[in-house]
Amino acid sequence: MDASKPSLGTDGAPKRPNFLLIVADDLGFSDLSCFGGEIRTPNLDRLAEEGVRFTDFHAAAACSPSRAMIMTGTDHHIAGLGNLIEWTNRAGQNAPDRENKHHFSTAPQRGMPGYEGYLNERVVAFPELLRDAGYLTLMSGKWHLGLTPDKSPKARGFERSFAHLPACSNHYAYEPQLEKPDRTPDFMTMSFIALHSEDGEYVKKLPEGWYSSDGYGDKMLGYLKDRYEQKDGRPFFAYYPFTAPHWPLQAPQEYIEHYKGVYDDGPDALRLRRLRRLKEMGLVGEDVEAHPVVADEVKAWDDMRPDEKAKSCRAMEVFAAMVECIDVNVGKVVDYLRDTGELDNTFVCFLSDNGAEGAAYEAYPIVQGQMMQHLQKYYDNSLENLGRGDSFIWYGPRWAQAATAPSRLYKAFTTEGGVRVPFLAKLPADLSTHTSAFGTTTDNSTPTPHKPGSITHAFATVMDLAPTILSMANITHPAPTYHDRAIVPMRGLSMLPFLVGAAPAVHPADHITGWE
């Protein structure tokens, strides 16, 4: 496409851009190949080659708080997700043991404003504004912002939606406890049933052969095909948040096979390899020294027995397979947009909702006892079975810190390892209408968008996504009111001036963002 000629709609006016917002669940900073990893991610790599990678992009330290900020452009405490509702309701999930210095009671949060556990009425979700402005709004994947129909994606602006409502679940929807008289363990009650809704109605049965990433990919592709076949000329916003690679670590065998033996030298060696590649790619400075690994609650690699090492390596192999499967399903959708001529007019971005998940849940009191007995009864965690639907594993703090290095710690900690996430953005091919809106830069030159494949170290956060998308769609946020109710303004800033080269940074040099 000739970027000097604006893309025009059927009425002769400049076409409004489409948006594809892709979110991975608990992906580490260096897991993708284009961010220093060894995992096969050719589709995301291609988007990175066509776009911009951010090395200083930040989310919240856990899932639903990040998603609340994505949907509203403001702080998650304001939007109703001050904490994961699962952690607010059960303090025992936030530390390995009750004597641990990290343990704290979440009881004071319960019932308090900002901790409702769903998007509250003080905010407007930006898909509501896109819908009101004539966009077709689509979603397929993890919601985690409310479990009931009145809190579903349909209630917050999505015309079509296939939504995983809770925090996580078995990726194959294997739920043997539902068919037995046994009481479901406390650790599983709010997080492990594959509860979905479609267009606001609960899904009674998932399709045969269900695997989460493939299922969400098929559904999103179906929505886009419906639009094309029905000749729906509206621009679209497609929200595509995966439940992978969140535990339980499970993946199709064809992808697991790609990583056999890749991680046999352990997490410390992987950490060093990725750090070298991060430096070679210019994603971190040559002089950066990684924070030491913090993992006192688990054995060091050299102290593990051979059988323990084998299972640990297999867990990482399955994790890598989950990431590759995400990439395949990203490619499924992006290739369709390319084939139908829509990709050039689509703003595509990809991120993780927080740092890699490093919890050693086997050390948590809430998991010990009833939960472990449940896993032993219903699941097969033998080496040969790991990764299948009737296995149930996580990979722990050492593998997680191979992915978050050089930063400290991982998900749930408000350290860089917990909140700094990979982010890439591919701009529409035709940016003339956007660059002209900013006039000239401070040196009176015409703004020049970032070159394809470039890397930026500019600071930005997930709160900046909603302002960016609304500004590209030429939509004004309605604060202080929306539909006769009081709402808060967005706290994020549009990244568009920076992306098109009209500003040196997304935020002023004295900008401060805080985390709790």
Which sequence positions are flagged as catalytic?
A: 63, 144
What phi and psi, each to the nearest 5 degrees, are found at residue 319?
-55, -45
Cis peptide before 96 (omega within 30 of 0): no
Phi and psi at 413, nearest 5°, equal -105, 135
Instruction: Output the CA torsion 203→205→208→212 (10° steps).
Output: 50
Compute CA distances 126 → 68, 110, 137, 468, whole Å.
11, 27, 10, 11
Contacts of 161 (CB under 8 A, 6+ apart): 138, 139, 140, 143, 152, 153, 154, 197, 198, 199, 200
Q: Where are the beta strands (DSSP E) in 92-214?
A: 136-142, 160-164, 196-198, 201-202
Q: What is the DSSP string of 270-334?
A: HHHHHHHHHHHTTSS-TT--PPPP--TTS--GGGS-HHHHHHHHHHHHHHHHHHHHHHHHHHHHH
| Cis-peptide into 245, omega within 30 deg | yes
What's the one-letter identity of residue 484?
D
The single-letter DSSP state of residue 37 is -
Q: Are strands 52-58 and 454-461 parallel, antiparallel or unpaired?
A: parallel
